[in-house]
Structure 1
Amino acid sequence: MKSYTFNLKEKSEKINTIKNKETFDFSEFRNFNHDSYGFKREWKTLSSHNDVEYVKRIINPHYPYMLSSYKDIPQKNSKYSNYLIYMDFGKYKYEKNFIEFFDLELDIIITKDLKYTLLDMDELLESFLKRKIPFFELETVLINMEKLMNDFNKYGPLNTLKELYNKKVIEWLID
């Protein structure tokens, strides 16, 4: 399971995956309110995703998502060129100046034409079957996914996220 540790005091992000263990300093940090944090950091080529210039993230321990936007390096076939927002479903652990996000495999991509796509349901179910994710976490992810998708269909993806996080937060993320 991937995890991301955000050090709010030192302004850094530490990524821990099977392939990578890296720490990145923020080039920009925002505390939008006492619950929503935004940061921007330069991209570092790791094992994949080599067409990114920088990433912006929004984290808020009250919601089971981490929101990201990617500024791609202009290339004809960049994977991220049509992405507006990438949502990771997960869970947070919050201690003092540290917020840790555990990625529970399920993702939603919101594209620039404001359509959305659900990704990696198979990875979520595989993690559950391999007992990496307990039933209550699987259930929580699926309930949140269903509610979010219903709201996306009713109000639109951006309006839904602006209602959850705040208009200013989402506008910063996608700017």
Structure 2
Amino acid sequence: MKNYKFDLKNKKEYLVSPTRKVKVNIDYIYNFNNSFGLERKWIILDRHNSIKKIKRLLLPDKMIMLTSFLTTEDSHIKDYLIYIDFGKYSKNGNIIEFKDLELDIIIKKDNTFRIFDIDELIEEFEIKNINKADFYNILKEETILINKFESIGLIETLTQETSKDAIMWLIDLG
């Protein structure tokens, strides 16, 4: 599982995963009503190096973090519009932490979506890295989002979860 720490005062993003520790500067921070938009350059890693820029939308009152990527034309993720990570937030002053609980939804530019890593969510729950309440809350949150996606649309759903300004900022990668 990955753990993110966002230091809004010092404009730093920290990522700790089983395979790496990353510390990177955040170029811009935007404050939307119930969320924070973070924008930064991509850093070279062991994979995903077709990414040029990344935007994250932190929603500390929800169980999701939204990410968009500016990529090269030959990128294997060039058709992604929004990547949704499900997890758990904690906030202490200007520090926001997000524990990624493995479940993801990828919204593509053609207005379709796919669920990823539900097997990893279940596996982490079974080995007790995710407690029962968090496990069921994540599944409930995912189900509610998917039902709303199907009834009112992908972008409209995410607009209701945060704001139109926040979602328009997130998907504008120009």
* TM-score bracket for this pair, using the shorter chain length: over 0.9
Contiguous gaps of at least 5 residues in structure 1: none
2:11 aligned partner: 11
- What SS does the aligned partner of 2:129 have? coil
2:63 aligned partner: 64
* Paired residues of 1:19 and 1:47 also in contact (CA < 8 A): no
Asked if residue 94 in structure 1 is aligned to residue 91 in structure 2, the reply is yes
- What SS does the aligned partner of 1:18 have? coil
Asked if residue 122 in structure 1 is aligned to residue 119 in structure 2, the reply is yes
Contiguous gaps of at least 5 residues in structure 2: none
TM-score (normalised: structure 1): 0.96
2:146 aligned partner: 149
Task: After superposition, give the CA deviation of every residue in 1:121-150 in whole Å (9 maximum; x if it has no partner).
Answer: 100000011110011111000111111100
Q: How does 1:33-52 map to 2 (within 5 A)?
A: 33=33, 35-52=34-51
Asked if residue 53 in structure 1 is aligned to residue 57 in structure 2, the reply is no
Q: Distance in 1 between matches of 2:79 and 2:128?
A: 34
Task: After superposition, give the CA deviation of every residue in 1:72-111 in whole Å (9 maximum; x if it has no partner).
Answer: 1222xx1211000000000001000100000000000000
Q: Distance in 2 between matches of 1:136 and 1:81?
A: 35
2:20 aligned partner: 20
Task: Give the C-alpha shift of residue 47 in structure 1.
Answer: 2.0
Q: Distance in 1 between matches of 2:147 and 2:124?
A: 25
2:80 aligned partner: 83
Q: Distance in 2 between matches of 1:143 and 1:168?
A: 26
AA aligned to 1:97 is: N
* Paired residues of 1:20 and 1:46 also in contact (CA < 8 A): no
Which range moved further: 146-155 or 38-47? Answer: 38-47
Q: Distance in 1 between matches of 2:12 and 2:55?
A: 12
Structure 1 segments of 4 or more deviating over 4 A?
Answer: none
1:103 aligned partner: 100
Q: Distance in 2 between matches of 1:115 and 1:51?
A: 22
- How much identity, in percent, do the aligned residues show? 40
AA aligned to 2:32 is: F
TM-score (normalised: structure 2): 0.96
Asked if residue 30 in structure 1 is aligned to residue 30 in structure 2, the reply is yes
